[in-house]
Structure 1
Amino acid sequence: MPGIDQPALLIIDPQVSFCDAGGSMARQGRPIDSLRAAATNCGRLADQARDGGAIVIWTRMIFEEGYADGGELINTIRPGLAKIGALLRGSGDECFSEVVCPAADDLIIDKNRFSALVNTSLEAILREKNVKRVFVCGVTTSMCVESTVRDLGQRDFKTFVVQDACADFDEPRHESALVSMAFGFARLITMKDAQTALNGNSDE
């Protein structure tokens, strides 16, 4: 409703690529157990958020045919992503993980940059729906989660990172990203905190 501060749960990239045994990251030998567990927690939070009337938004990192929209990430920084067909539309790698199930009324944002606010309509959607509080979870903590959280914080959204529903390929990187986000961009909370807040039973 207009004028009502409606919270949003923003779930970052719980995709086959990052979270499933058949995804491109697992095929490259990266450990995915913690990412899969985080994605499972994201799904639980989504159920809780819907029950509490919050907006649920999922993002997917997706590149178009030939990685024409990949920019410097694909051309210079991580050209290996193209070589393994990572996150290419239609490949299956870009699909949501088998451990999550977005609902028909949830919003889905496709993106081709780490931040969910770059080249997308996400900010406009949040403003239109009068969202002031954004609860963020997903993978990976140090890349797409942190990039998105930094951009949300710089746009004056009250941002919360659900730390036990985020994960990275190694724990030091995960912990370092949490420290950085807490230093200047967001508040760190737990699943329990988020569930309470998304149900409207908290002052968060």
Structure 2
Amino acid sequence: MAEAPVPLARTALLICDLQNDFIHPQGAYGRAGQTAPEIAAVPGRVKPLADLMRREGGWIVQTQFTLVPAKGGEPMISPHLRELRPFLRKGDFEPGAWGHALVDDLAPADLSVEKIAYSAFYMTRLEWVLRKAGIEKLYVCGIVTNGGVASTVRDAHVRDFSTVVLSDGCAAFSQAVHDTAIEALRPVCRVATIAEVIAEMEGA
């Protein structure tokens, strides 16, 4: 028996980590030259779906990768991340700062959740706010496909959210890595393009 469709009022576009510090040329990653054209293009590709979701009563939910400030404002950085990204410094991904915010193309979000690891569900209030808002279905987009997106999608799956990953609404630092990550997600969620989802919503 096919599952009943989930109304848009109980559906969210879950935007993973599309923040100024990741995307903008003046953000933390841009300053360090840690960018990729595939990643920079994601907000513009997602925007038509975000606009449609807003018009039709859906939710926009963003996750914000966060470096929690400690004494003196120095960020708490996991050892593996410090090794991978030695350029991170005081003020990067700091709560309330410009770099921490959702990029302008997709702002504002209805709900925002800070995260400190790959999965947006790990030690956060994400599941709590989604349940309180009555959200049952997630269209997931953002960066990076093999990191925050994949981890969040898998955790949404085990929590019984109806989950769709947007194959062209995500990106990694290489197309090959992105493609491999998308294929690996097919057993746990539906994979669709932004155009396919828009067509379905407009035809509903």
Same fold (TM over 0.5): yes
Equivalent of 1:111 in 91, 109, 115:
115
Q: Which residue of 2 aligns with 1:166?
A: 170
Q: Which residue of 1 aligns with 2:124?
A: 120
Alignment of 1:62-73 (within 5 A): 62-66=66-70, 70=76
Distance, in Å, in 1 between the alignment partners of 2:78 and 2:17 is 22
Q: Which residue of 1 aligns with 2:59?
A: 55
Q: Which residue of 1 aligns with 2:99?
A: 93
Mapped pair 1:176 → 2:172: no
- Offset, 1:199: 4.8
Contact 2:167/2:193 (<8 A) preserved = yes
The AA in structure 2 aligned to 1:94 is H
Identity of paired residues, percent? 29
Map Cα deviations across residues 118-156 of structure 1 (whole Å, 9 max, x no partner): 122211222233322211011111111111001001111
Map Cα deviations across residues 24-83 of structure 1 (whole Å, 9 max, x no partner): 22222223322121112223221111112111111111112138884xxx3321114465
Q: Which residue of 2 aligns with 1:189?
A: 192
Which sections of structure 1, spanning at least 5 residues, go unmatched?
none
The two structures have a TM-score, normalised by structure 2, of 0.83
Distance, in Å, in 2 between the alignment partners of 1:102 and 1:27 is 24
Distance, in Å, in 2 between the alignment partners of 1:11 and 1:23 is 18
Q: How many residues align?
A: 192
CA RMSD of aligned residues (A): 2.3
The AA in structure 2 aligned to 1:107 is L
The list of structure 1 runs, each at least 4 consecutive aligned residues, that deviate by more than 6 angstroms after superposition, is none
Mapped pair 1:102 → 2:108: yes
Distance, in Å, in 2 between the alignment partners of 1:91 and 1:84 is 14
Q: Which residue of 2 aligns with 1:41?
A: 45
Contact 1:54/1:198 (<8 A) preserved = no
Say which SS state the counterpart of residue 41 (structure 2) adopts: helix
- Offset, 1:194: 1.8
Contact 2:136/2:162 (<8 A) preserved = yes
Larger deviation, residues 109-118 vs 21-30: 21-30
Which sections of structure 2, spanning at least 5 residues, go unmatched?
1-5
Say which SS state the counterpart of residue 164 (structure 1) adopts: strand
Say which SS state the counterpart of residue 109 (structure 1) adopts: strand
Contact 1:161/1:188 (<8 A) preserved = yes
Q: Which residue of 1 aligns with 2:26?
A: 22
Larger deviation, residues 76-85 vs 149-158: 76-85
The two structures have a TM-score, normalised by structure 1, of 0.83
